[in-house]
Structure 1
Amino acid sequence: MKFFDVFLKQFRLQWRQYLVASLASYGSLCTGMSMGWTSPVLPQLRGPNSPLPEQPTLQQESWIGSLLVLGGLIGPFITVPLSKHVGRRWLIMGSNVPLLLGWLLAGVTTNLPTLYVARLAWGCATAMQFATVPIYIGEIAEDKIRGALSAFFLLFINIGFLLAYAIGPFTSYWGLTACGGIISLLYLPFSWYLPETPFFLVFKGRLEEASSVLQQLRGKTKDEVQPELDSLQAMIAREYEEEPKISDLWASRGSVKALGICVFLAMLLQLSGIDVLLFYMEELLAKVGTKISPSDGTIIMGVVQVATSCVTPMVVDRLGRKLLMWTTSLGLTIFLTLIGVYALLDNYYKYDVTSVTFLPLLCLIVYMILFTLGVGPVPWILVAEMFPLKTKCLASGICSFMCWLAGFIWTRFFRDVAASYGIYTAFWILAVCCGIGFIFSVALLPETKGKTFDEIQDLLNNRTKQGNPGA
């Protein structure tokens, strides 16, 4: 109870930052719906009420699922060049364009090419938000709650998945698509009322606006926020003494280390199989042999995701990034291996597994809990924390690009691997990837919990000793 009392007391003092982080993260709810849309929709595309003239093939369904991730590769090419010119707020607002275009095309489609373009548009919107919203939240948040607020992004994504899972089985293709479009329309006014980040305003020399935004976010007077404003000015003057260039990403040992860590963890996020599970949840629950209704199973999974996401903001700054990463990646390795063993015994050897039919769903539930606590949010928190100001957007774009590239390859070919070598082999490949992530987290990941940017840079450059990650 003491822990929750402290959290509530902290929330009362900093509710403005929680509100702004929530408004910024609402777009991830909309993109979460577009990502989870395939799970209930793919069975409907095979039915008599499909908008398509004929039933899609296995390969076409794989393209429907994976093209959203391919569209994600477009996002960094939009966010990186524009970030220092238009600011984070306008990029977040701009993500509404491909987001709403995707829902419109999905709603009027009568053929596969239109549906493909809709998925690409959703992917572009999702990648724009992945590359921008965590940075936005990192720049409006105080250091001590930065991790908690950054975890909101994943929380809203999971709420979007739950909505797709809960609405989809009980309505038609058009009903689910219309719901997604209406919910996404609400993001227009929400994003309009977002303030620009104090960092960008100082960077552009708009000091009075930066002071005003800080006063609103911190609930303090102009004099009380002046030290933070002065610190921002000093940091920007130091970091932007020269024009940023791509070679800055490997200009120091710390920069190279930060980029390597964040690129690897961003790719691990996808190679752990999260998009595969979320896009094809109903299909996978049927394939691994669980006896529960696939639609009921996906709803259970969505509820677990959201419930765990509510806990993540309260633990990510308490337990630390390193501890969360190595424990959750180890857990994912174990439970993905167990699902593969179950599928091997049930599908290949035809053993009687009726006494443990609950095991696949239980393992997937634990998988979702562990992913949502660590492997999912931590990479994006680290992207917002580890990079110097002048290279942060570029590094975020690179990490986002590599994340989506890994996701596209895996979502496109997962079903082919499962069809050719068995679903158990596909799960074991995921387990191996998570095992590599566990080793990486233990051996190479530094702890950034509660540290200022300068302290994190000292840590990456080995100028200070790393403290206890669990402290």
Structure 2
Amino acid sequence: MKVKQDEDYHLRLPVTKSDTLFLYCSVVTAELLLVATGSSMVWPSPVLGKLGSNDTEINPIGRQITTVEISMLTGIPQFTSILGLLLCPKLSDIIGRKRYLFLAGVVMLISGVGLAFSKKIVYMIIMRCIFGFFGVMSVVPVYIAEICEDRNKGKFGCYTGMLHQIGHLFGFIIGPFLSVKYFTLVITAPLLIFICVFPLMPETPVYLLKHSKIQECKASLKKLRKNKNDLELELDLKKLEEHLKNEPKGKVVNLFKKREHIFGILLSLLPIMLKYCSGVTVLFTFLAPFFDSAGTNLSGDLVAIIVAVVKISFFLLTSLIVDKFGRRRMLLISSCSTAVPLCALGIYFYLHHIQSPAVEYLQWLPLTGILATVSCFGLGIGPIPTYLMTEFFPADLRTAAASIINSSGNVMIFVLTFFFPIVTEQLGTEWCVWFFSINCVAGATLIYFFLPETKGKNYSEIEKLLKR
């Protein structure tokens, strides 16, 4: 259909229309992968207690798990996911976002079922490595962004972090009440729903247009935007064509050719490393056993559920106020305030270690300290670093930059997760927590002196700051 070139007619076109039910279904279906990924991330929290039991009806491996095996079970999957983060974006460019995500869902489902029936630690490690290898956290946001319009990318993009946190809560809620096998099968169930429904969803119009599949692109747009007429869809197609025509081709090597891009990588790594070195991600992995070691009357599994709810609430709050207060300010407030309850928790664990009588009067501190830590973390260093890094790079280099930065972050997660059980056993929990507190103070100092504010600035303005 030929578009009528009439500026007056263009002005009569509706500026915005409500999002279609099919678009919501496409977004939610793709993010079922994130629910399963989030639940898998906290899988060790309720499971490690069962693997440490001598009861063979509870413990599928039939013996107590060793400290080194705990480190391998939690740390090695983090290491293998680094390869997935480096390979995934390119593979999804070759075979398509939809095909890649469907393939990832199938493999994740098979590995999840394999994990449920594993009775040896080595098999559990292998299954968890396979489950996390595809790095869907990198590709799902791309799929969602490419099926959305410019006006609603932000709204649907915020769902990504929320669904991941809901996956955490899902795992914490059901983990204490089920055996290892049935718990693993239940948190894998969203993948079965995904595999059944996702074939009905479309490939992204952007990917189809990049590969010169014009008719398929039109069909995809028509499914996603059923509330638009043919002329509006044709205009949307032309807008996509114009965008792709002007988009330069970015390569990883280009990130290291300009001074401002190198500074962009360093400044993006700063909040990402602060996020993981604050220890909250590590503590979430070991949350139930960590709290049980505090020696209070509260169940670690119950605390994990409460903490997950609080974390989701503060992630939501931050998404509502970050554009008002600014990224840099909220990162500073968050990192400084997170250091305080972590330091207090370290003092409590030290007093508990030396069997001080003061512990009897401080039974309220572990729960209060954990909730305060997660709340302060959720105000900035939890949600902000993930999307802050995209603001330091032009559109053509954002995927490549995200791969490098996320991979570096996963290296840090691997190191901290692997060594946390060992250091805790050898030196005591208090030294680990104090180390995390010191990292928060150091990170806040670096942010204060080096990280520029990006609120309200486009890339051209940010690029000028990086060139100084």
Taking structure 2 as the reference length, what is the TM-score of the superposition? 0.85
The match for 2:166 is 159
Quote the offset at 1:458 in angstroms.
3.4
Q: Output one character per residue of 1:3-24: Cα deviation in whole Å (capped at 9) or x when no partner.
A: xxxxxxxx99346665544333
CA distance in 2, matches of 1:136, 1:330: 35
The match for 1:94 is 103
**Counterpart selection for 1:122 from 111, 122, 131:** 131
Measured at CA, do residues 189 and 286 of structure 1 come closer, stay the same or move farther in structure 2, by a change above 3 Å? Answer: same
CA distance in 2, matches of 1:449, 1:350: 48
CA distance in 2, matches of 1:57, 1:391: 44
Quote the offset at 1:427 in angstroms.
0.8
Matches within 5 A, 1:360-379: 360-379=366-385
Q: Output one character per residue of 1:408-451: Cα deviation in whole Å (capped at 9) or x when no partner.
A: 00000012222222211101111222223323433443445566
Q: Is 1:248 matched with 2:254? A: yes
Alpha carbons 2:48, 2:289 under 8 Å: kept: no
Quote the offset at 1:25 in angstroms.
2.2
Matches within 5 A, 1:439-450: 439-449=445-455
The match for 1:417 is 423
Matches within 5 A, 1:75-94: 75-94=84-103
Long gaps (5+) in structure 2? 1-15
Quote the offset at 1:82 in angstroms.
1.4
Q: Output one character per residue of 1:335-366: Cα deviation in whole Å (capped at 9) or x when no partner.
A: 21221122223323624133332222122112
Alpha carbons 2:311, 2:375 under 8 Å: kept: yes
Measured at CA, do residues 464 and 421 of structure 1 come closer, stay the same or move farther in structure 2, by a change above 3 Å? Answer: closer
Q: Output one character per residue of 1:285-340: Cα deviation in whole Å (capped at 9) or x when no partner.
A: 12234431212111211222333344454344554433432222222222212211
The match for 2:290 is 284
Alpha carbons 1:335, 1:366 under 8 Å: kept: yes
Alpha carbons 1:134, 1:380 under 8 Å: kept: no
Matches within 5 A, 1:426-437: 426-437=432-443
CA distance in 2, matches of 1:105, 1:330: 43
Measured at CA, do residues 222 and 370 of structure 1 come closer, stay the same or move farther in structure 2, by a change above 3 Å? Answer: farther
> Is the deviation greater in 207-216 or in 357-366?
207-216
CA distance in 2, matches of 1:269, 1:231: 37
Q: Is 1:459 matched with 2:467? A: no
CA distance in 1, matches of 2:163, 2:283: 18
Quote the offset at 1:207 in angstroms.
4.8
Q: Among all aligned residue pairs of Structure 1 and Structure 2, give the percentage whose two residues are the same amino acid.
A: 26
User: SS at the partner of 1:196?
Assistant: coil
The match for 2:345 is 339
Alpha carbons 1:134, 1:381 under 8 Å: kept: no
Matches within 5 A, 1:274-313: 274-313=280-319
Partner amino acid for 1:130? M
The match for 2:244 is 236
Measured at CA, do residues 282 and 377 of structure 1 come closer, stay the same or move farther in structure 2, by a change above 3 Å? Answer: same
The match for 2:358 is 352
Matches within 5 A, 1:46-195: 46-47=52-53, 48=55, 49=57, 50-125=59-134, 128-141=135-148, 146-195=153-202
Measured at CA, do residues 412 and 233 of structure 1 come closer, stay the same or move farther in structure 2, by a change above 3 Å? Answer: same
**Counterpart selection for 1:43 from 23, 33, 49:** 49
Partner amino acid for 1:272? S
Alpha carbons 1:337, 1:427 under 8 Å: kept: yes
Quote the offset at 1:38 in angstroms.
0.9
The match for 2:211 is 204
Alpha carbons 2:36, 2:187 under 8 Å: kept: yes
Alpha carbons 2:43, 2:171 under 8 Å: kept: yes
The match for 1:380 is 386
Partner amino acid for 2:282? V
> Is the deviation greater in 82-91 or in 309-318?
309-318
Measured at CA, do residues 272 and 25 of structure 1 come closer, stay the same or move farther in structure 2, by a change above 3 Å? Answer: farther
Measured at CA, do residues 217 and 399 of structure 1 come closer, stay the same or move farther in structure 2, by a change above 3 Å? Answer: farther
User: SS at the partner of 2:203?
Assistant: coil
Measured at CA, do residues 265 and 110 of structure 1 come closer, stay the same or move farther in structure 2, by a change above 3 Å? Answer: same
The match for 1:13 is 18
Partner amino acid for 2:189? I
Partner amino acid for 2:382? G
Partner amino acid for 1:236? L
Measured at CA, do residues 258 and 200 of structure 1 come closer, stay the same or move farther in structure 2, by a change above 3 Å? Answer: farther
Measured at CA, do residues 92 and 384 of structure 1 come closer, stay the same or move farther in structure 2, by a change above 3 Å? Answer: farther
CA distance in 1, matches of 2:233, 2:374: 40
The match for 1:8 is none
CA distance in 1, matches of 2:258, 2:123: 46
Long gaps (5+) in structure 1? 1-10, 466-471
CA distance in 1, matches of 2:17, 2:456: 20
Taking structure 1 as the reference length, what is the TM-score of the superposition? 0.84
Alpha carbons 1:249, 1:391 under 8 Å: kept: yes
Q: Is 1:398 matched with 2:387? A: no
CA distance in 2, matches of 1:239, 1:170: 51
User: SS at the partner of 2:351?
Assistant: helix
Quote the offset at 1:59 in angstroms.
1.0
